[in-house]
């Protein structure tokens, strides 16, 4: 087992950091006010005729919960003597319910009728969108956005669902901050004209980041920057760069004199006008080990990764999403110890599914997020390194499955409970770049990143957090982490625990201001002894991160 850091472990530990961001913004719902006639101030008031209303009915069945709410509305006025103005008021309130819970273009009318038996009947109508136009000031060209308008797809009058889908797809484009609909009466009776106002997003967005989540032997403390250019070609594309640096200075004893440099450049474009996006990225990583054995091992290495991907949304709603995609990566890895290099190359392809769902439980909101990937690849060992195992090599074909899940639920008194889980399965012993991380800031937080990667493993994190009301943006949390993994699927390790279990618990404090500043601090304490054969870690770990968005 090579001492300390390798190029593969660094790629694994920074996988989340190097995942290109996907542009996406929450959709806007369409709203309209009821155009009920109003009384003219100062007009002379005359006594209105009254009618006894035993019950109100509608001419069609309504979906829940609208049907229940309409029955409650009617019950408030039934069994009374009502004026014509009061009956019209019931129609106005009914229209509010129809537009908020059935269809924004649905409305009720009061047809001519004889109220002989005390029954007043309303007719339900579905309005029709007559025309959709675009008022575009965004960074995406008008010619591109017009392709998203539903009238240009079918040649027929669009439905409300088609219009809402077009709004969500426009708002997902880098360069479009918001696509807001404006409704006005159409020329024909019962029709509506819609104008979509596409507002511009910032041309350049970025963030400055500092944290102590780097490598245990090549620099824990690091600083970085993320920069994105929205729609540089006016087609909803995005050019993004990421750079992180752990300098030789300012490190602790274990990584003093070491350094790490990570950089990535990615570009993403829409394919067609149905939400499909494709991207390509190139990542370069270099490191040199530090610490007390720096001159002995002379550990250093590098990695180059070129990747392409395509993502297609299958479900795209305000409260739910489901996306499928394909990925293909080419990796070139080198690690040197005592001037002897280990050189590997791999090609890895796979499919990925991700999604989210928002809902309620016991009257409180909740949210679920998940992603899963099935990948297969082949690794070639071009040159055998000093610490490479000839008996159980990582070279050859392999298949691995990885999955992540998170559930957050608001509970009483402003508390939010959450549970996160991760799992990985593998067909054989893997290179460090394909293994799963158990320790570190994203794993069992009572252990540092020096905890070895695993071929197969599971991770569970449970937390309870609460907003501090007197200070907006400030929250406190307590958490528990559990991890279990198998380092080498193909054999047991000599003098070490091949399968190990680690646990920790801790507290955290986070602060966010105006979506521009985010600071987090957490302290985690190890539960139980360190795994056999692994370096004895400190009883606790402190994790710090800060981000400034611009």
Phi first, then psi: what are they for 69, rounded to 5°?
-65, -35
Q: What's the CA gap between 148 and 138, in Å, rounded?
A: 14
User: String of b and e for 470-494 (b: at least 16 CB within 10 Å)?
Assistant: eeeebbebebbbbbbbbbbbbeebe
In whole angstroms, what is the distance from residue 340 CA to residue 376 CA?
29
Backbone angles phi, psi at 161, to 5 degrees: -60, -40
Q: Which residues of the chain have pLDDT under 70?
A: 1-4, 17-48, 152-156, 295-296, 383-392, 493-496, 535-537
Q: Tokens 């601090």 appear where?
A: 521
Nearest alpha carbon to residue 430 among 455, 401, 399, 456: 455
Q: Residue 540 in 3-state DSSP? A: strand
User: What confidence score (pLDDT) does residue 17 get?
Assistant: 65
pLDDT of residue 384: 66
Please name the residues in contact with 334: beta carbons below 8 A apart, sequence gap of 6 or more: 7, 301, 302, 303, 341, 342, 343, 344
Q: Are 267 and 301 within 8 A, CB to CB?
A: no
Strands 222-230 and 238-246: antiparallel
| β strands within 176-257, DSSP E | 176-185, 191-200, 204-211, 222-230, 238-246
Q: How many CB atoms lie within 10 A of CB 497?
A: 15
Residue 23's pLDDT is 40
pLDDT at site 31: 38
Cross-strand partners of 474: 511
Q: What angle do CA 14, 464, 445 make, to 5 degrees?
A: 35
- Strand 340-361, strand 364-383: pairing: antiparallel
Closest among 280, 287, 327, 288 to 303, alpha carbons compared: 287
The pLDDT of residue 346 is 96
> What local confidence, expressed as pLDDT, does residue 517 receive?
95
Q: Which two tokens stand for residue 418?
A: 């959450």
DSSP string, 426-490: ESS---TTTSBP-BSTTSBTTS-TTSPPBSEEEEEEEEEEEE-TTSTTEEEEEEEEEEEEES-TT
Return d(Cα 246, Cα 286) in angstroms, integer: 11
Q: Please report how the helices 84-101 and 66-77 are oriented relative to each other, as an axis angle in degrees rounded to 10.
A: 170
Count other C-beta atoms under 10 Å from residue 391's C-beta. Answer: 6
Show the 3-state SS of 222-242: EEEEEEEEECCCCCCCEEEEE
pLDDT at 130: 81
Q: Are 17 and 213 in contact (CB under 8 A)?
A: no
Which pLDDT does position 532 carry in this prediction? 80
Number of H helices, E strands in the chain: 7, 24
Report pTM.
0.78
């Amino acid at each position: 087992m090579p001492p300390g850091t390798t190029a593969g472990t660094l790629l694994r530990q920074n996988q989340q950091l190097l995942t290109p961001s996907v542009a996406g913004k929450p959709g806007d719902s369409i709203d309209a006010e009821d155009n009920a006639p109003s009384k003219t101030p100062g007009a002379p008031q005359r006594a209105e005729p009254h009618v006894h209303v035993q019950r109100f009915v509608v001419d069609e069945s309504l979906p829940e919960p609208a049907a229940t709410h309409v029955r409650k509305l009617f019950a408030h006025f039934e069994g009374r003597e009502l004026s014509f103005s009061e009956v019209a008021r019931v129609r106005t309130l009914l229209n509010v319910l129809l537009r908020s819970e059935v269809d924004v273009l649905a409305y009720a009318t009061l047809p001519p009728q004889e109220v002989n038996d005390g029954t007043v009947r309303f007719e339900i109508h579905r309005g029709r969108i007559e025309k959709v136009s675009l008022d575009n000031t965004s960074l995406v060209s008008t010619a591109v956005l017009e392709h998203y308008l539903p009238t240009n797809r079918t040649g027929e009058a669009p439905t409300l669902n088609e219009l809402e889908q077009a709004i969500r797809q426009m708002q997902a484009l880098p360069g479009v901050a918001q696509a807001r609909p404006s409704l006005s009466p159409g020329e024909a009776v019962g029709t509506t004209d819609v104008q979509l106002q596409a507002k511009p997003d910032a041309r350049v967005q970025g963030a400055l980041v500092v944290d102590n989540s780097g490598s245990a032997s090549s620099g824990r403390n690091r600083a970085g920057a993320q920069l994105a250019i929205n729609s540089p070609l006016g087609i909803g594309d995005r050019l993004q760069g990421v750079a992180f640096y752990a300098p030789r200075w300012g490190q602790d004893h274990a990584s003093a004199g070491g350094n790490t440099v990570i950089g990535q450049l990615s570009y993403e474009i829409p394919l067609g006008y149905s939400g499909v996006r494709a991207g390509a990225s190139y990542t370069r990583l270099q490191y040199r080990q530090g610490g007390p054995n720096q001159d002995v091992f002379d550990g250093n290495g590098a990695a180059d990764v070129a990747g392409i991907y395509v993502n297609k949304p299958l479900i795209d709603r305000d409260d739910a999403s489901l996306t499928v995609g394909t990925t293909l990566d080419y990796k070139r890895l080198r690690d040197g110890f005592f001037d002897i290099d280990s050189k590997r190359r791999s090609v890895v392809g796979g499919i990925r599914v991700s999604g989210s769902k928002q809902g309620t439980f016991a009257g409180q909101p909740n949210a679920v997020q998940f992603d899963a990937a099935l990948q297969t690849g082949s690794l070639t060992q071009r040159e055998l390194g000093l610490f490479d195992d000839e008996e159980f090599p990582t070279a050859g074909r392999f298949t691995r499955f990885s999955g992540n899940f998170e559930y957050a639920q608001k509970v009483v008194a402003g508390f939010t409970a959450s549970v996160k889980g991760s799992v990985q399965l593998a067909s054989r012993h893997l290179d460090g770049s394909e293994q799963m991380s158990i320790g570190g800031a994203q794993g069992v937080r009572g252990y540092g990143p020096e905890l070895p990667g695993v071929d197969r493993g599971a991770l569970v994190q449970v937390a309870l957090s609460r907003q501090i009301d007197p200070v907006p943006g400030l929250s406190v949390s307590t958490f528990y982490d559990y991890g279990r993994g198998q380092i080498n699927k193909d054999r047991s390790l000599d003098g070490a625990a091949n399968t190990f279990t680690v646990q920790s618990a801790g507290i955290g404090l986070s602060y966010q201001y105006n979506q521009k500043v985010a600071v987090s601090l957490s302290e985690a304490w190890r539960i139980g002894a360190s795994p056999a054969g692994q370096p004895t870690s400190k009883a606790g770990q402190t994790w710090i991160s800060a981000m400034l968005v611009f």
